[in-house]
Structures are given as C-alpha cells and as structure tokens.
Amino acid sequence: MFNLGGGPGVRVHQFGGNRPRRRPQAGGAQQPQQPQTATSVLQSLLPLILLFIIPVISSFFSSDSSAARIPTFSVDVPSPPMTQQHISARLRVPYYVRPADVAGYTSAGAWKDLDRAAEQRLLGTLQRECDSEVQMRDRLYNDAQGWFFVDQAKLELAERMEMRSCRRLQSFGMQYR
C-alpha cells in the first residue's frame, strides 16, 4: 500500500550526512546530461508563450467595440455638456447627449444602440429605486405590527407611501413585487 522504501529516483535523506544519497539506477553508470539547445528551450517555453500571447493577439481582433462606440448620456434631465435631447424609439424615454459625440450618427442602427443603452440604464435605475421603496414600505408595515396592538399611524404611512419609481416601472409595462 505504501512505498516506504522509496522508488527509483527518489531521494532518501540520512541524518548526519552532508548530502542525501540516491538509490542506484538499474542501468549501472549514470549518463551525463546533455546541454540544452536553443530549440529545446523554446519548445519547453512554447506553452507559456502561447498562454500569454494568444489573448493579447485576440484582443486586437475582437469585434465587440460597442462600449467604445456608445457616447456618454444623461437620462431624463440634461447635464452639461450633454444638452442635445433625443427620445428613444421603444419606450419614448428622453435622454441627452453631447452634440459633438453624435455628430456622425446618420444611421438608424447607431441611434438604436444608443436608445437601447439609455432605456436599459433607466430601467435598471428604476428597478433599484423601486426595490428600495418596496423594502421601506415593508419595513413600515413590520414596524406597525406590535406585540399587543397595531400602530395605526405607521400602518397608514405605509399604505400612503408614494412609490414613484415603481409606478414609473409599471408605466413601461414592468412588474414589481
């Protein structure tokens, strides 16, 4: 089960000696190592070279440059220098861009990508805000439930709580819990 005696080529250390002993090879005399040539060194390093070089080369030829193509924008309110208004086609969301960034936008595809990015940002922001509003309302409901009686003031506050982001999400056809 266990190879306690070591195996061929396994070093066996001995206390008191200045260097470890090796078990003798079966072939008799040891063969001297041959010096490595440049091609053998290159062959041994080739997997590492490929591991680091291929990703760098592939990044030069990648076709996903959509993030670099989409200019910065502001949704709902202008924020200088983003002053040129555009309205998204699907959800009719107003957003603002720098006029210099979209001066070359002549194709509908470029505007479509920008519209989609603006809508996704708005919906993501509204979803996070709606989640926060729902948590706050749930906290108010939980605080209204006491050990012996219900706090009517907190219960009414929770029921009257304005959930602006959730209502806006619903206006876009999105549901919240």
Q: What is the pTM of this model?
A: 0.57
Residue 1 has pLDDT above 50, yes or no: no
Residue 72 has pLDDT above 70, yes or no: yes
What pLDDT, on a 0 to 100 scale, did the predictor assign at position 58? Answer: 79
With cut-offs at 50, 70 and 90, classify the pLDDT of residue 63: low
Question: How far apart, in Å, do the first and last CA atoms of the chain sit?
Answer: 61
Per mean pLDDT, which of 53-57, 94-98, 104-108 is the most reliable? 94-98
What pLDDT, on a 0 to 100 scale, did the predictor assign at position 39? Answer: 86
Per mean pLDDT, which of 76-80, 108-112, 129-133, 172-176 is the most reliable? 129-133
Residue 130 to residue 134: CA distance in whole angstroms? 6
Of 68 and 100, the one with more pLDDT: 100
Percent of the chain, pLDDT > 70?
Answer: 76
- Once rounded to an integer, what is the mean pLDDT over residues 3-15? 57
Residue 90 to residue 116: CA distance in whole angstroms? 8
Percent of the chain, pLDDT > 90?
Answer: 28
How is the chain split into domains, by residue range? 66-171
Residue 8 has pLDDT above 70, yes or no: no
With cut-offs at 50, 70 and 90, classify the pLDDT of residue 4: low
DSSP code string of 138-169? HHHHHHHB-SSSB-HHHHHHHHH---HHHHHH
Residue 159 to residue 2: CA distance in whole angstroms? 73
Bond from prior residue into 81 cis (ω within 30 degrees of 0): yes
With cut-offs at 50, 70 and 90, classify the pLDDT of residue 169: very high
